[in-house]
Amino acid sequence: MTGWLTRHPTALSEEDRAGLKDVLARCPELDTAAGHVRDFGELLSGRLGARLPACIDAVEAGQLPGLTGFALHLHRDFDAVTAGVTLAWSSGSIEGAVNRIKKIKRQLYGRAGFDLLRKMILLP
């Protein structure tokens, strides 16, 4: 079910689309949640940060427990979230490199010296 809701509609097979349509017809709350998920996905993929306040307001008006909590957390750091969904640059590659170094360090913790750690980090 989660895969059906989070994938782009064009990425679903005909069988999956029919199954999703059937499930959403049986549960109006899930249909509402699916609409919010699609809207948020479009906002992210299109870098439409200007639509974020309207998206958050719609989620809060829907009063769906899991999504209203998510919207509340978006409000807490609204400027950073808006920048994240609007700006083209990202620190994702840096975060990936930092996580790789931390993993190597954990693997070698207490068993290797600085020289081996340096070789493992500098070699891809």
Do 105 and 78 have their domain in common? no
Q: In the Cβ-directed half-sphere of 35, how many Cα atoms lie within 13 Å?
A: 14
Do 15 and 69 have their domain in common? yes
Band of pLDDT at residue 56, cut at 50, 70 and 90: very high
Token readout for 28 is 């109006």
Structure confidence at residue 37 (pLDDT): 93
How many domains would you assign to the chain?
2
Q: Tokens 């999956």 sit at which residue?
A: 16
**C-alpha span between 108 and 50 (Å, rounded):** 46
Do 73 and 98 have their domain in common? no
**C-alpha span between 96 and 102 (Å, rounded):** 10
Structure confidence at residue 19 (pLDDT): 94
* Mean pLDDT, residues 32-61: 92
What's the domain range around 112? 92-122
Phi-psi region of 65 (alpha: psi -120 to 50; beta: other; left: phi over 0): alpha
Do 42 and 68 have their domain in common? yes
Do 78 and 103 have their domain in common? no
Do 97 and 75 have their domain in common? no
Q: What is the pLDDT of residues 70-116, one digit of tens each?
A: 999 998 999 989 988 898 887 888 888 899 888 888 888 777 778 88
Do 60 and 12 have their domain in common? yes
Q: Tokens 């700006």 sit at which residue?
A: 87
Do 77 and 96 have their domain in common? no
Q: What is the pLDDT of residues 5-42, one digit of tens each?
A: 998 888 999 999 999 999 999 999 999 999 999 999 99
**C-alpha span between 48 and 25 (Å, rounded):** 29
Structure confidence at residue 124 (pLDDT): 60
Closest CA to 3 of 15, 106, 70: 15
Compute the CA torsion angle 7, 21, 48, 68 (nearest 10 deg).
-100
Do 34 and 73 have their domain in common? yes
Do 80 and 50 have their domain in common? yes
